[in-house]
Amino acid sequence: MTMINDRIVTARKLGSDMDLVLHGGGNASVKVVEIDHAGREVKTLRVKGSGSDMATINEKGFTGLRMEDLTLAKDIERMSDLEMMDYLRKSMLDPSEPAPSVESFLHAFIPYTFVDHTHSDFILMLTNSSMQDSDIKKILGNVVVVPYIPPGFTLAREILKIMNVMTPDVEGIVLKKHGLFTFGETAEESYGKHIRIVERAKKYISDKLGSIDLETIYDKDSTFSRIIPEIRGILSSKYRKTVFVDTGEQALAISRSREAEVFVESGPATPDMLIRTKYDYLYLKDEKNYPEEIEKFKNKYEKEYSEYVNGFKMHDPYPTIIVMRGYGILTASRTISECRIIRDQFVHSIRVNTAASRLGKQEFITRKEAYDMEYWPLEEAKLKKFVPRKNEGSIALVTGAANGIGLEAMKKLSETGANVVAADLDEKVLNMASEVAEKTKTRTEGYVIDLSNSGQVERMMVYIEQKFGGIDIVFQNAGILKSEYIEEIKLETLMKHLEINSIAPFIISQKAFNIMRRQGTGGNFVFNITKNLTHPGPGMISYGTSKAFSAQLCHYIAKEGGRYGIRSNIINPDKIFRNSRIWDNGVLESRARAKGITEEEYKKGNLLRREVLPEHVANMLLSMIDEDIFGATTDAMVPVDGGIL
């Protein structure tokens, strides 16, 4: 147990340094003796399993493999990647543990107790340059330098050959274009070697180059903000994508640099990044001709795919990274987490390529090798099993999201993959959205807003457009209700209802409609109106008339949006009490009294004699935006009321 604990400590140290390990990269292992299910002592390789992150790894993150099985594989000459993974799965002590690393054989063939592997930026700066192997060894000390070999059994066999002749004083193995391996009989020994070798690389680069600053040659350009939805729309031609638009200090510096323009076709820092980033990225000099530039990128990718790839379905040919000169970096993928990983990989690649080019000529693997890596059979096998969530990549706005129907809508949209802006006057929406995001692993942000303030509403829509890159789903759910009869209603009460129930939905709809039209990928408006629209009751004039305005708004969106694939529909719920604040301040008691019944009778006053819950309405929302269910329906009204008595 002590050895596993030691392994966890140093693995986390390496994994917490983004100059060494990015987003689940790197690897670490330890060889231990364990007791199997039959009570036998088994020499075991514990190696970081698939999906584990070295920065936070615990004991469960290391998959156990029988060393006897792995050692017997030394006599096997060849093994395809799929055959290798099948062999490794059969060598697992516990089949329920994470899938073993593709580098498991490599770790097994290194005859030391502890093995560490990272993709150190400073090592890559040396190996991604035209620097000779002998010069790299002079800088790093007593290391073995190995030419680029794709990860898998072939690489493990090459390491085995090195191990058979390697002297005990060798501190590490440098894999060109890939990273660094170190080893030792203790965790600290292997970790210490790793840090010392990286520090030598870092010192050499610092002495030779000084700081690795980018050369700023272009001015700022804010005009790109006008075309983000259009770009997202084009990138979503194959499937809906979310985008991450980074205009922060670092991204802005890259977009204004000479290097960002130069390294367009230079490749990323390491081959494993190709699975997400592609070999090239797109560089836009200005906002003009961006459709043509994206199309050129797509055509180039399709041509190279036909030249280099056989037997695998073509990936999405559109760029995952776009540098907008003077504005920032846009990354695109199904999820915001993937977008952020791509962004981080790109930033590190620019840094590595900049240093490598200044040390000599920046060099990467060939196009053929790159496409072999992008279409790696092991990753292709994963892709075949991947089923995106129903609303993956969509951007949704839910108003009145802190309670009741809105809260359930936020949760269900997030659970099905939509990125959600959850708007509400109540500041608790911030924590609620954060909790939902943590649970669903989907971008869900709370947004505090007073919908009676038109300026705040307009600013919210600008925020969504620029930070989320567009919008696909609008659930107009927020509302205010104060029960007053016509002879006693105050004008200020009526105006408050109109501001929140009518004007705010109009501003939101107008702005969102414009964005959806520019995206060119359709969209959905769903209005929570009320049963009061079709069955008005006494004492509800402010509420009913303001909601009637929104109902008419919904109809006009449907009429004018149909040609753009924009659908607009109404849900008419009745008496939603659970977690709803609309019934606060005596409204429930007042309505029950007006009907001459108890509050409990009022809650179940429908044909089904059952309480209608927020979940019922939220599930209807999901159905309405589902193309397979309501895809041919617009300008419709669906009651969720238990049946009107």
Distances (CA, A) of 207 to 139, 331, 352: 12, 34, 16
Q: What value does the CA radius of gyration of the chain take, rounded to a whole number of Å?
A: 29
User: Which candidate, 320, 352, 318, 324, places its Cα nearest to that of 254?
Assistant: 324
Domain boundary among 385, 406, 437: 385
pLDDT, position 593:
80
Range in 94-98, 212-216, 390-394, 575-579 the model is least confident about? 575-579
Give the C-alpha separation, 310 to 372, whole Å.
10
DSSP per-residue letters across 78-136:
---HHHHHHHHHHTBS-TTSPPPPTTHHHHHHS-SSEEEEE--HHHHHHHTSS--HHHH
Instruction: Tell me, yes or no, whether 140 and 24 share the same domain.
Output: yes
Same domain, 481 and 569: yes
355 with 399, same domain: the answer is no
pLDDT given for residue 617 in this prediction: 94
Strand pairing report for 473-476 and 444-448: unpaired
Same domain, 7 and 53: yes
330-351: pLDDT as tens digits: 999 999 999 999 999 999 999 9
- Span 444-457, pLDDT tens digits: 999 999 999 999 99
Say yes or no to pLDDT of 86 above 60. Answer: yes
User: Of 209, 234, 251, which residue sits at a domain end?
Assistant: 209
Residue 589 lies in a domain: no
Identify whether 214 is part of a domain. no
Using DSSP's 3-state secondary structure scheme, residue 607 falls into coil
Let me know if residue 597 belongs to a domain: no
Listed as own residue / partner, the contacts of 89-97 with beta carbons closer than 8 Å and 24 or more positions apart are: 91/65, 91/66, 92/63, 92/64, 92/65, 92/66, 93/34, 93/36, 93/42, 93/44, 93/64, 93/65, 93/66, 94/64, 97/49, 97/60, 97/63, 97/64
According to the model, what pLDDT value does residue 382 have? 82
Cα–Cα distance, 146 to 365 (Å, whole number):
14
Residue 170's domain is classified under what CATH number? 3.40.225.10
Q: What is the overall mean pLDDT for the chain?
A: 93
Q: Is residue 189 part of a domain?
A: yes
Instruction: Give backbone dihedrals phi and psi of 31, rounded to 5 degrees, phi first.
Output: -105, 120
- Structural domain includes residue 557: yes
Centre a 10 Å sphere on the Cβ of residue 546 and count the other Cβ atoms it contains.
23
- Do 162 and 209 contact (CB within 8 A), yes or no? no
Tell me the per-residue pLDDT of 476-500, one tens digit each, with 9 for 90 and over: 999 888 877 888 888 888 899 999 9
The residue out of 181, 209, 237 marking a domain boundary is 209
Shared domain for 320 and 463, answered yes or no, is no
**Which neighbouring-strand residues pair with 640?**
573
- What average pLDDT does the segment 242-259 reach? 97
What range defines the domain where residue 243 resides? 222-385
- pLDDT number for residue 1: 56
251 and 126 in one domain? no
Confidence grade of residue 581 (pLDDT, cut at 50, 70, 90): low
Q: How far is the first Cα of the chain from the last one, in angstroms, to the nearest whole number?
A: 68
Distance CA 580, CA 575 (A): 10
- What per-residue confidence (pLDDT) applies to 606? 81
Q: Are residues 98 and 37 in the same domain?
A: yes
Distance separating alpha carbons of residues 395 and 484, to the nearest angstrom:
37
Structural domain contains residue 476: yes
Give yes or no for a contact between 127 and 198, defined as CB atoms under 8 angstroms apart. Answer: no
Tell me: do 270 and 333 sit in the same domain.
Answer: yes
**CATH number of the domain residue 525 falls in:** 3.40.50.720
Query: How far apart, in whole angstroms, are the C-alpha atoms of residue 585 and residue 493?
Result: 15
Mean pLDDT on 153-181: 94
Answer yes or no: is pLDDT of 586 > 80: no
Under 8 Å between Cβ of 417 and 391: yes
Q: Compute the residue count for the chain.
A: 645
635 neighbors 568 (Cβ within 8 angstroms): yes
Nearest to 576 by CA among 449, 412, 408, 462: 408
pLDDT more than 90, % of the chain: 83
The amino acid at 146: V
pLDDT-derived band at 590, boundaries 50, 70, 90: confident
Work out the burial of residue 160: count CB atoms within 10 Å of its CB; fewer than 13 is exposed, 13-18 middle, 19 or more buried.
Answer: middle
The count of domains in the chain is: 3
pLDDT in tens, 526-576: 999 988 888 887 877 888 899 999 999 999 999 999 999 999 999 999 877
Residue 22 within any structural domain of the chain: yes
499 with 370, same domain?
A: no
- 405 and 381 fall within a common domain: no
pTM exceeds 0.85 for this model: yes
Are residues 409 and 373 part of one domain? Answer: no
Q: Are residues 8 and 153 in the same domain?
A: yes
Who's near 439: CB < 8 A, 6+ residues apart? none
Residue 205 lies in a domain: yes
Cβ pair 484, 493 in contact under 8 A:
yes
Predicted confidence (pLDDT) at residue 409 exceeds the cutoff of 70: yes
Please give the C-alpha separations between residue 523 and each of 62, 621, 631, in angstroms, as whole numbers: 44, 13, 11
The model's pLDDT over 171-217, given as tens digits with 9 standing for 90+, comes to 999 999 999 999 999 999 999 999 999 999 999 999 999 989 999 99
Confidence label for 381 from pLDDT (cuts 50, 70 and 90) = confident
Q: Which CATH number do you get for residue 245?
A: 3.40.225
Q: Say which range, 27-41, 112-126, 504-518, 528-542, has the weakest mean pLDDT.
A: 528-542
Where is average pLDDT lowest: 2-6, 282-286, 329-333, 556-560? 2-6
If you average pLDDT over residues 506-512, what whole number do you get?
Answer: 98
